Structure 1
């Protein structure tokens, strides 16, 4: 095996960096890598990725574009991060639409998905990735406002966007949801967040078995990331790169290391996979 073909098991180099509000992070999260070799597996696909301005969502959106998909990117604010990912996607020779708003609001989901359909026609893949977390040491500190906000952003949005996208999904289309390792092993400081991620797993399994979904040959799956180095981590948990890990591979993952799992679940490579979850977590053993 040549050096070129070896699997990189070390922390990746900082190549293809895009300024998406990560200048205060050390090291800067890597959303792309030249180790990824696209094969046009999504050429002509019309896709939507929520939570796409940074981290995992950004990496997935760019990987889809590299595979030939048109990508509609969605995030909370119309800021430089969202503009820069749109620019990067268009540099890859595909179409991109950018939308900003609260993914936990039904009206925004309906309006955005309708606009993408009107512009491009049938959808092929929806990625429900947007989420938020608010660490609390005690359950007593989780008030109604936080509980509503976390569930609205994480699980309500997953249901809203799946519901609104389904009528526009082409036969054989896919839905890919972002869950978390916390859905399986728990997280004492993220009680409400972990609960929503568990709900996403149950929703994924249930929707995949729905008669209407099966008849349309739509497949529904999830990815459950472990500790991934994204802007969300220092902003909410406050841990450093060295502290954020605690897994057999002894480092946090980079956003680009998640993207191939989403590409696999979005394409015919996974034609016999539905209702399942891929664990990209650095070696943490979980029970399904």
Structure 2
């Protein structure tokens, strides 16, 4: 049997993207049991939303595989510093950049800082996202709709545009979509719409970059225990989060990060325009 938790303490956070330090139990996001093999030695990676959750596990996993890592975070300074500490423990340099990816200028400046610090860019992970629960489409304000698309879609576009002049033969872009892009979620209409758009963007961009041999893929996690969960749902919903998945529990960030490591490495050299589905057993056709 799995030793992963099947239920969680009742909890809610009023601020997104949420604070990992306040979660009970703590997510497994430090890649403690991961066995590295030098798959990303010499690579330079930039990860949005790298301070906690899936992004944190990806950053630490990349570092363990030999990459130099820059990551973006919005405002969770303490979480970001913990991520930095674990990247350094893995023996890798790290650059943490605070700001809002909804700004095209911030995205351009972030890429410039990453290239100036490490000398290039090989892997871009578009992972930062937000979601806001609303029971009815008429309850979604224009401000919420625009903010969700600003972070989840426009931020991905802006970062990708800024990275393009630095990416070259053999490099990789990885987008974080979601199971809700395929299954929908009645209380996350705008979030689900952005994640569906990311699937289409992944496939379209992959086709446009094949001649340059820049691979574009995505990961579509199912229910994963990250700060976004208590920052989005009520304490009652959080308590049983993930229980309806075929495996009967939520996943942990450490169980998702290996998908990104695979897609960033030469092991995935014949994969582009594809989506991986670490989701606890839900079968996705497409």
Question: TM-score w.r.t. structure 1 length?
Answer: 0.91
List gaps (5 residues or longer) in structure 1.
Answer: 1-7, 13-19
Give the corresponding residue for 1:194: 192
RMSD: 1.5
Give the corresponding residue for 1:3: none
Moved more, 23-32 or 223-232: 23-32
Runs of 4+ deviating beyond 4 Å: none
Q: Distance in 2 between matches of 1:84 and 1:243?
A: 25
Give the corresponding residue for 1:234: 230
Shift, 1:159, TM fit:
1.1
Q: 1:177 aligns with which of 157, 175, 197?
A: 175
Give the corresponding residue for 1:35: 33
Question: What secondary structure does 1:48 align onto?
Answer: strand
Shift, 1:71, TM fit:
0.4
Q: 2:160 aligns with which of 156, 159, 162?
A: 162
CA offset digits 1:18-62 (Å, max 9, x no partner)? xx9334322211103443210011111100010011100001000
Q: Distance in 2 between matches of 1:101 and 1:154?
A: 14
Report if aligned partners of 1:59, 1:255 keep a CA contact under 8 Å in 2. yes
- Aligned CA distance change for structure 1 residues 208 and 179 (closer, same or farther; 3 Å): same
Alignment of 1:108-147 (within 5 A): 108-147=106-145
Higher relative contact order (CA 8 A, sep 6+): 2
CA offset digits 1:210-232 (Å, max 9, x no partner)? 0xx22221000000000001111
Q: Does 1:22 align with 2:15?
A: no
Question: What secondary structure does 1:126 align onto?
Answer: strand
List gaps (5 residues or longer) in structure 2.
Answer: 6-17
Give the corresponding residue for 1:5: none
Q: 2:4 aligns with which of 4, 11, 14?
A: 11
Report if aligned partners of 1:241, 1:252 keep a CA contact under 8 Å in 2. no
Give the corresponding residue for 1:243: 241
Report if aligned partners of 1:47, 1:72 keep a CA contact under 8 Å in 2. yes
Q: Distance in 1 between matches of 2:130 and 2:241?
A: 20
Aligned residues: 272
Q: Distance in 1 between matches of 2:86 and 2:35?
A: 17
Moved more, 103-112 or 237-246: 237-246
Q: Distance in 2 between matches of 1:60 and 1:266?
A: 10
Q: Does 1:220 align with 2:216?
A: yes
Shift, 1:154, TM fit:
0.1
Moved more, 124-133 or 80-89: 80-89
Question: What secondary structure does 1:104 align onto?
Answer: coil
Q: Distance in 1 between matches of 2:168 and 2:119?
A: 9
Alignment of 1:36-75 (within 5 A): 36-75=34-73
Give the corresponding residue for 2:12: none
Question: What secondary structure does 2:108 align onto?
Answer: helix
Question: TM-score w.r.t. structure 2 length?
Answer: 0.91
